[in-house]
Every structure is written in C-alpha cells, then in structure tokens.
Amino acid sequence: MIYRQLGETDLHVSVITFGAWAAGGWMWGGTDRKEAIQAIRASYDLGVTSIDTAPVYGQGTSEEIVREAIQGIPRDKVQILTKFGMRWDMNPPKGDFSIRTEDKQGNVVETYRYAGKESIMKEIENSLRRLGTDYIDLYQLHWPDTTTPIQETFEAVAKLLEQGKIRYAAVCNYKADQMAEAEKYVKLASNQVPFSMVNRGIEDETVPYCIENNKSILAYSPLERGLLTGKIKPGHPFAEGDHRVKHPSFSPENISRTNAFLNKIKPLADQKGASLAQLVLKWTSERPGITIVLAGARNAKQSVENANAIDIDLSEEEIDWINRHLAEM
C-alpha cells in the first residue's frame, strides 16, 4: 500500500481508503453486516488503514460496523474519517431538505443538510459513541448547508479541535470559494468530492484551488457507483432501494457508451493481470491533485481487489493512452 499526507497535517492515510457508504446499506438496497465487517478487516490486512464513513449511512449503521471491524486494532494504527451535517433525526426538521429514503424498518425518512452549532455538538457525541472512540481523525462537513452561516459551522468545528475530539477538519462537496470562506475560521485538511473517469468537473476549479493551497482531495465514487467496473449491462436488475435505478449515469444509453470505452482499455487491464475496476482505481490515484481514492466494498473479495489496485504499475505512456480513449467518449 502507498500512503499520502493529508494536506499539511501529520495524517498519512492509505491511497486506497475504504469507503463505507455501501457497507451501511443506505441507498444501496441493504447490507450484510457480517460481510461488511469482513470487508473492512480484509482490506486492513492489505494496508488499507483509513476508513471513511458517515452517520447518515444507514442512520448510524455504517459507523457501528466500522466500530466492530476495528475492534482489536490499536487506535493509532487506523484513521477514522467521518462526517457531520446530514440529519434525519431532528424534530422539527431544520436545514436544507436533502433526500427522502427509507430506514431499516421501511419507514420513510427525510434527511436534511444542517450544520448549526448545537447540532454539531450533538452529532460528534453520537459519532464517538457509535464508533467506540474518543476522537475522530478527520471530521468532514458532509454537504454545504445554506441555512447556516459558514462562520457558525466552523467556529463550532474549531471548538471540537480545541477539545481534542477531532484531530483535523475538512469538507465534502465544497466549491473553492466556500473552502476559502471556511478557512477564515479553521484550517481545512481536505475536500471530499465526486470524481471519476466520466465525472471530472472538479478539475476546472476545485483541483487547481486545492493544489495551490495544499489541500488534499478525497475522490469518492471513482468507479461511478459501479458503472466503471464493466459489470453493469443495460437492463441490470438493481436491488430494491438501490439509488442507481433512477440515476442518469445508469441509463441504457450511458451504460452502453461507457462499456464501449471500457472494452477499449480492457486489453491493458488484461496485460496487467488486473480487473477493469482495478485499472480505473489506479488511473484515478495517479490523476493530478487526487490524494485519496475512496473505494467501497460490500464483501472481502471486493475490498481485497480494491486494495490490490494500488500495486498496478502504469507508465505515463499508458496513462496517456487511456486518456486518449477517454477523450473519444
């Protein structure tokens, strides 16, 4: 495994970081708790020391799974990355309405983006309890909240830093100007944003800003929710509750177009003795400005494959060859 420094912090995390969204089952058609725990442990055995989770993933399930998975591992040998600012448990609700889903009992749950001071102070305690730890390595605002001033949010985060409940602060899904505003109140380590071969919009503004200001980028959905594995065909039967059913990336036309590209680069994957998913993850890790690649897995086989992607050797010429085919999509 390769490890990279997050921003200007002393955190060195595995380039392949375990993304625990799918492990929590939320919006992925449920989860098998035992298999999810085994997936995290199998990846740790291969050097994946960092795990990214969030309270909203399964309404606490993902964080609880992470706690179980890391039991027995010295706390300083694993980096826990979690989030705040997505609330499903407020009455009355506050913040920006985000999404309507179902909980584990099938009840309709409305989730809101909310990062007010009192809410943050409650969320940190809940996360520490669910994770079974007394500090979070990287605490990330999950989504921008337009109902709360950035100053209020990050003055509260600064308080958590002072209290030692978190080691470093970060954001997710922030634009460059929002990062600059947050920096007035707390030093940010990173920004977690969506990035994949077929979703490179952050390269216009966010990547240049982060490079110039020594901020790391944590790329999530590098496999575009499984689309870039080559295993998804038009008419794929998704499980009930899987958000991909209505996602535009999974229209029959887009699946066919993406698979045509993947077929072009598959000979290189075969030459490397790698799967398409591994080739895509390695390409992503070599993209300028990308520090960490978040790779989700629902079982040990998937997590082992993800971890081993880092061992693929890609030359500059091979990367350029992939990019030429990508430009033709």
Tens of pLDDT along 207-231? Answer: 999 999 999 999 999 998 888 888 8
The pLDDT value recorded for residue 241 is 63
Domain count, the chain: 1
Taking all residues of the chain, what is their mean pLDDT, rounded to a whole number?
90
The phi, psi pair for 107, rounded to 5°, reads: -80, 145
Stretch 125-143: mean pLDDT: 97
In a domain, 238, yes or no: no
Q: Is the pLDDT of residue 309 over 60?
A: yes
- The CATH number for 201's domain is 3.20.20.100
Which residues form the domain of 202? 3-227+283-313
The pLDDT value recorded for residue 109 is 77
In a domain, 250, yes or no: no
Stretch 254-278: mean pLDDT: 91
The pLDDT value recorded for residue 28 is 45
The pLDDT value recorded for residue 158 is 98
DSSP state of 159: H
In a domain, 48, yes or no: yes
The pLDDT value recorded for residue 117 is 95
Tens-place pLDDT, residues 79-101:
999 999 999 887 767 777 777 76
Stretch 61-72: mean pLDDT: 93
pTM of the model: 0.89
In a domain, 302, yes or no: yes
In a domain, 122, yes or no: yes
Residues identified as active-site: 57
Burial 283-311 (b: 16+ CB within 10 A, else e): bbbebebbbbbbbbbbebebbbbbbbbbe
Question: 131-135, 196-200, 310-314: lowest mean pLDDT where?
Answer: 196-200
Question: 123-132, 254-263, 274-283, 313-322: lowest mean pLDDT where?
Answer: 254-263
In a domain, 265, yes or no: no
In a domain, 248, yes or no: no
Tens-place pLDDT, residues 6-62:
999 999 999 999 998 877 554 444 567 888 899 999 999 999 999 999 999 888 889
In a domain, 252, yes or no: no
